[in-house]
C-alpha cells in the first residue's frame, strides 16, 4: 500500500496564479484533511472531509477551495495564489471522523509551495 500520496512535491507560483494540489489514499479511509505547516505555527487545518460528499472549513480556509472527488481523492485548490500561501501542505486521512470517536491520521509526504 502506498498510503497517502500527494502531487506535486514542489511548486513555484507567481502571485495571482492558480493551482490544484492532489491527494489520494489507498487505505479505504472515510475522512480526509488538508493542513498547512509554517515555521513557528505548527500544523493548521485548512479543510476536511468527514466522508465522501461532505467538506467543512478548518482553522485557516480563506483563499482555498476543496473537492472530495471520491472516497480516495481530496484536492485543494488555490484560485489566486498570494505570498502568504507559501507553505508546506500536507494531506492526511483517517478511518472515520465523528463526534465521540477518535482515530489517528496518516499523512502524505507534503507539497512545498512557494508563491513569489
Partner 1 sequence: EDQVTQSPEALRLQEGESSSLNCSYTVSGLRGLFWYRQDPGKGPEFLFTLYSAGEEKEKERLKATLTKKESFLHITAPKPEDSATYLCACSNQAGTALIFGKGTTLSVSS
In whole angstroms, the minimum distance from the beta carbon of 75 to partner 1 comes to: 17
Segment lying near partner 1 (by CB under 8 A), choices 18-26, 56-64, 69-77, 79-87 = 56-64
Asked if residue 36 binds partner 1 (CB under 8 A), the reply is: no
Judged by CB under 8 A, the residue of 32, 60, 76, 97 near partner 1 is: 97
From CA 51, how far away is CA 30, in angstroms rounded? Answer: 5
Least distance (Å) from partner 1 to the CB of residue 35? 8
User: In whole angstroms, what separates CA 29 from the centre of its chain?
Assistant: 15
Q: What is the 8-class DSSP label of residue 84?
A: G
40, 73, 80 from 67: Cα distances, Å: 29, 8, 17
Query: What is the spatial distance between Cα 17 and Cα 68, in angstroms, rounded to a whole number?
Result: 22
Between 17 and 73, CB nearer to partner 1 = 73
**SS3 state of residue 85:** helix
What is the SS3 assignment for 32? strand
26 contributes a contact to partner 1 by CB under 8 A? no
Q: Is 106 in the site for partner 1 (CB under 8 A)?
A: yes
Q: Which residues bind partner 1 (CB under 8 A)?
A: 4, 33, 40-45, 48, 50, 56, 58-59, 90, 92, 97-110
Amino acid at each position: 500500500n502506498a498510503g497517502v500520496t500527494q502531487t506535486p512535491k514542489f511548486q513555484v507560483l507567481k502571485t495571482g496564479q492558480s493551482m490544484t494540489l492532489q491527494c489520494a489514499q489507498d487505505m479505504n479511509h472515510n475522512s480526509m484533511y488538508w493542513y498547512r505547516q509554517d515555521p513557528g505555527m505548527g500544523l493548521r487545518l485548512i479543510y476536511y472531509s468527514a466522508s465522501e460528499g461532505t467538506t467543512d472549513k478548518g482553522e485557516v480556509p480563506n483563499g482555498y477551495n476543496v473537492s472530495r472527488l471520491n472516497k480516495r481523492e481530496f484536492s485543494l485548490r488555490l484560485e489566486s495564489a498570494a505570498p502568504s500561501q507559501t507553505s508546506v501542505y500536507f494531506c492526511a486521512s483517517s478511518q472515520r471522523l465523528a463526534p465521540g470517536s477518535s482515530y489517528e491520521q496518516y499523512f502524505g509526504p507534503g507539497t512545498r509551495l512557494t508563491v513569489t
